[in-house]
Amino acid sequence: MKYIDEFQDPELARRLLDDIHSTVTRPWALMEVCGGQTHTIIRHGIDQLLPEQVELIHGPGCPVCVTPLEVIDKALEIASRPEVIFCSFGDMLRVPGTGRDLFQVRSEGGDVRVVYSPLDALRIARQNPDREVVFFGIGFETTAPPNAMTVHQARRLGIPNFSLLVSHVRVPPAIEAIMSAPNCRVQAFLAAGHVCSVMGVGEYPELAERFRVPIVVTGFEPLDILEGVRRTVLQLERGEHTVDNAYARAVRPEGNPAAQAMLEDVFEVTDRAWRGIGVIPDSGWRLSPKYRDHDAEYRFSVDGIQTREPAECRSGEVLQGMLKPHECEAFGTVCTPRTPLGATMVSSEGACAAYYLYRRLDITTAAREASPVV
Amino acid sequence: MSETTDLRGPATLEAWTCPAPLRDRPRVVMGHGGGGALSAELVQHVFAPAFGGEVLAQMGDAAALSLGGVRLAFSTDSFVVRPLFFPGGSIGDLAVNGTVNDLAMSGARAAYLSCGFILEEGVEVEVVARVAEALGAAARTAGVEVATGDTKVVEAGHGDGIFINTAGIGLIPAGVDLRPQRVVPGDVVIVSGAIGVHGVAIMSVREGLEFGVEIESDCAALGGLVDAMLAVTPDLHVLRDPTRGGLAAALNEIAAASGAGVVVRERDVPVPPAVANACAILGLDPLYVANEGKLVAFVPREHADAVLGAMRAHPLGADARIIGEAVEAHPGMVVARTGLGGTRVVDLPIGEQLPRIC
């Protein structure tokens, strides 16, 4: 952990920025895939320091944001049941479903608990054999292996009262969907480093070639982001489109084979709806039939969910990089972290939340300057 | 409006608006106690309209009162911490220091405390005795006397072992007038030392998280440190102890109440590596993590060096630092200059910070 400061060193950052400034000759649009990268960019003001020609488009990589409303509503329904202990990572508790969130379920008597690891949920299941313990398994390739392992352990240890509500998603099909959209402006990707630390980089060369886009595997500290941007811009300026690993301290080309084996054992690939975007083929995982007993959707047969998405929420366009958060009419007016319309405003990694939390000053100043004084 | 009032005078109800319903929370959620926007909304829309009163309208950590020609500070706080004992302190220490510090932030040295215990049926008497011992010891250290108290017991399952409420009263010295409305652009912002320590210490034991090093709470009574600062100049503008909601909430409250903008240089904010690392793992921002033995001061620029010197000469202010200043730009808003040279808004937290997914 002593390395955190070193990856925020202002001197090194200045050198990387100088390098980027001297490399860029024309406008480029880069998409950072991961919400964690978006927050680093906005929190540290990296986008303010890059050349004007380099536009960072915020991608769909916030697991909280893309979890479909229907799954959130299922979670709320299951968590409301008296026999259930519903366990989740903290940032899912404030995400609005249709009309309420998990905090509200808790205030109405639901047993909703924040855990820091899915294994904590498994421990709770062992300690409460007369209750049903459900863990909310969401996220990208990063969080999928530990969740898979928890189900594997539940089976191995014979813990029948543990189940997983699964809404895992996969990055490569999302990149494919974004690049296939007719109005796509993305010219290169900063790939999510932690996803690649699990899956390796093997899924990317075909995408880079097919869409002729550079894909640079990038980490999450400010210097990681700057190095990712530097390498991406270099490729764009040279007319190249290869897969480059700028996060070699964490990512091996082959990824983590043990984690991949666990995924293969427990999950199977499925079509998955992304909140605000829609169904992307093969973009998700669900529990394989072998582990059906531990599938919360099967166990609780939550049917008849009627979802209601606020009509004015444009988070889908934000997630696809077609709209900057502050360009949405609801941004900062009817939609704030206090009264979110969509998950992008409430998630700690959501692009709208990042803009609202960190960028209100620029946005209000720009609005002031744009409107004439009456 | 005068900043003090006679307790026996008529309440001025005109200042209050009708209670508005909480917009989207029909029931209380944990965030209503988190010291952020939800807490403020509960006070603004439910408690303040119901209670009324000019003194309450000041919304300080302690109420400044005028009683028989004497200026008093009066404050109350409740303590529901879990676990009851943690590295660096206990609920007993907190119950004293929390209220003593609220009084100190108005410049008053606490003189007397009340102490109400709400005990849960089944809690061991030995545990109650240990908490009481800790509370008594903390009171002696702070130089305050527990003058009155109360005990109630609730049925098993209706409490969390021990809850404590304390109220305190102390004298405000002549010439001292600490309130956010006195903050003006140009004031220097000083913190008395490392931030985020208490919150991370509690998290490390409550959630069973281990960060490789033991982090001890900074729980301490700040009356002596404030005395040392006031000895240099009574002309401090405002003091605040950044407890729930952390430094970010304290600065936002001051910015909102004063109408001044606040700029903080992020690299100058003292965050111990252990706290920074724990926050990095959990996805928390140290600026929002609770403290129990720190203060933030807005000081006229001409007194800043002297006040800083006095703070550093005191054991509880040895690591005091200037972290920013009040500005005319962006009134009511707190902005951080990032280490890389960008800027970001530091907002009032909504409720409690939530650990992120990955």
The domain that holds A55 is classified in CATH as 3.40.50.11750
B28 interfaces chain A, CB cutoff of 8 Å: yes
Please say if the pLDDT value at position B172 is more than 90: yes
User: What pLDDT, on the 0 to 100 scale, is given for residue A278?
Assistant: 85
Segment B88-96 mean pLDDT:
95
| Residue B7 DSSP label | T
User: What pLDDT, on the 0 to 100 scale, is given for residue B3?
Assistant: 35
Please say if the pLDDT value at position B5 is more than 50: no
Q: Tell me which of B344, B347, B353 to substitute to probe the interface with A (most A C-beta atoms closer than 10 Å).
A: B344
User: What pLDDT, on the 0 to 100 scale, is given for residue A199?
Assistant: 97
- Residues A110, A204, single domain; the answer is no
Query: Per-residue pLDDT tens for B270-282?
Result: 999 889 888 888 8
Q: Shortest Cα distance from A24 to chain B (angstroms)?
A: 20
Residue B358: pLDDT band with limits 50, 70, 90: low
Annotated domain spans of chain B: 61-171, 180-345
Q: Specify whether the CB–CB gap between B19 and B49 falls below 8 A.
A: yes
Question: What ipTM was assigned to the predicted interfaces of this complex?
Answer: 0.77
B20 interfaces chain A, CB cutoff of 8 Å: no
Query: Per-residue pLDDT tens for B95-110?
Result: 999 999 999 999 999 9
The CATH code belonging to domain B180-345 is: 3.90.650.10
Q: Is residue A85 part of a domain?
A: yes
User: What pLDDT, on the 0 to 100 scale, is given for residue A372?
Assistant: 42
Please say if the pLDDT value at position B260 is more than 90: yes
Query: Cβ contact (<8 Å) for A349 and B29?
Result: no
Query: Cβ contact (<8 Å) for B355 and A194?
Result: no
Residue numbers in A near B342 (CB within 8 A): 44-49
Query: Cβ contact (<8 Å) for B338 and A142?
Result: no
Please say if the pLDDT value at position B235 is more than 60: yes
User: What pLDDT, on the 0 to 100 scale, is given for residue B355?
Assistant: 61
Q: Is residue A322 part of a domain?
A: no
Q: Where in the sequence is the domain holding A187, given as residue range(s)?
A: 5-63+178-245
- Residues A14, A138, single domain; the answer is no
Query: Cβ contact (<8 Å) for A45 and B342?
Result: yes
- Residues A46, A106, single domain; the answer is no
- Residues A81, A189, single domain; the answer is no
- Residues A227, A217, single domain; the answer is yes
Closest CA to A175 of A143, A145, A148, A199: A199
Residue numbers in A near B349 (CB within 8 A): none
User: What pLDDT, on the 0 to 100 scale, is given for residue A195?
Assistant: 96
Query: Cβ contact (<8 Å) for B283 and A46?
Result: no
Q: Whole-angstrom Cα distance, residue A8 to residue A6?
A: 5
Query: Cβ contact (<8 Å) for A358 and B344?
Result: yes
Q: Is residue A313 part of a domain?
A: no
Query: Cβ contact (<8 Å) for A4 and B280?
Result: yes
Query: Cβ contact (<8 Å) for A45 and B25?
Result: no
Query: Cβ contact (<8 Å) for A93 and B354?
Result: yes
Residue numbers in B near A91 (CB within 8 A): 283, 354-357
Closest CA to A92 of A111, A108, A76, A70: A76
Name residues 253-272 of chain B within 8 A of A (Cβ). 267
Q: Which fold has domain B61-171?
A: 60s Ribosomal Protein L30; Chain: A; (3.30.1330)
User: What pLDDT, on the 0 to 100 scale, is given for residue A363?
Assistant: 66
- Residues A118, A160, single domain; the answer is yes
Closest CA to A227 of A28, A43, A8: A8
Query: Cβ contact (<8 Å) for A43 and B344?
Result: yes
Strands B89-90 and A162-169, by their bridges, are: unpaired
- Residues A69, A129, single domain; the answer is yes
- Residues A93, A239, single domain; the answer is no
Dihedral sign for Cα atoms in the order B164, B167, B170, B175: positive
What is chain A's pLDDT, residue by residue, as a tens digit (374 residues)? 455 677 888 899 999 999 999 999 999 999 999 988 998 998 899 999 999 999 999 888 888 888 988 999 999 999 999 999 999 998 888 888 887 889 999 999 999 999 988 999 999 999 999 999 999 999 999 999 999 999 999 999 999 999 999 999 999 999 999 999 888 999 999 999 999 999 999 999 999 999 999 999 999 999 999 999 999 999 999 999 999 999 999 999 999 999 999 999 999 999 999 887 889 999 999 999 999 999 999 999 887 778 777 888 888 888 888 888 999 999 988 888 877 888 788 776 788 988 888 877 776 666 555 544 33
* Structure-token pair, residue A177: 């969907």
Alpha helices in A214-309 (DSSP H): 222-238, 257-266, 296-300
Residue numbers in A near B339 (CB within 8 A): 8, 10, 44, 222
Please say if the pLDDT value at position B23 is more than 60: no
Q: Which of B342, B347, B358 sits opposite A194 (nearest CB)?
A: B358
Q: Specify whether the CB–CB gap between B186 and B326 falls below 8 A.
A: yes
Last residue of a domain, one of A245, A263, A281: A245
| Residue B46 DSSP label | I
Planar angle of CA B337, B341, B346, nearest 5 degrees: 25
Of A135 and B10, the one with more pLDDT: A135
Q: Is residue A43 part of a domain?
A: yes
Residue numbers in B near A359 (CB within 8 A): 344-345
Query: Cβ contact (<8 Å) for B350 and A90?
Result: no
B147 interfaces chain A, CB cutoff of 8 Å: no
What is the DSSP secondary-structure string of A116-168? SSHHHHHHHHHH-TTSEEEEEEEESTTTHHHHHHHHHHHHHHT-TTEEEEEEE
Q: Shortest Cα distance from B133 to chain A (angstroms)?
A: 33
- Residues A201, A117, single domain; the answer is no
Residue of A nearest to B343 (CA): A45
- Residues A241, A261, single domain; the answer is no
Query: Cβ contact (<8 Å) for B354 and A114?
Result: yes
Q: Is residue A357 part of a domain?
A: no
Q: Whole-angstrom Cα distance, residue A322 to residue A80?
A: 37
- Residues A149, A260, single domain; the answer is yes
Residue numbers in B near A2 (CB within 8 A): 273
* Lowest-pLDDT range of A58-67, B167-176, B237-246, B260-269: A58-67
Q: Specify whether the CB–CB gap between B99 and B166 falls below 8 A.
A: yes
The number of distinct structural domains making up chain A is 2
Q: Shortest Cα distance from A139 to chain B (angstroms)?
A: 8
Q: What is the CATH number of the domain that holds A145?
A: 3.40.50.11740
Residue numbers in B near A146 (CB within 8 A): none
Please say if the pLDDT value at position B118 is more than 80: yes
Q: Is residue A130 part of a domain?
A: yes
Residue numbers in B near A104 (CB within 8 A): 25-27, 29
Please say if the pLDDT value at position B14 is more than 80: no
Residue B252: pLDDT band with limits 50, 70, 90: very high
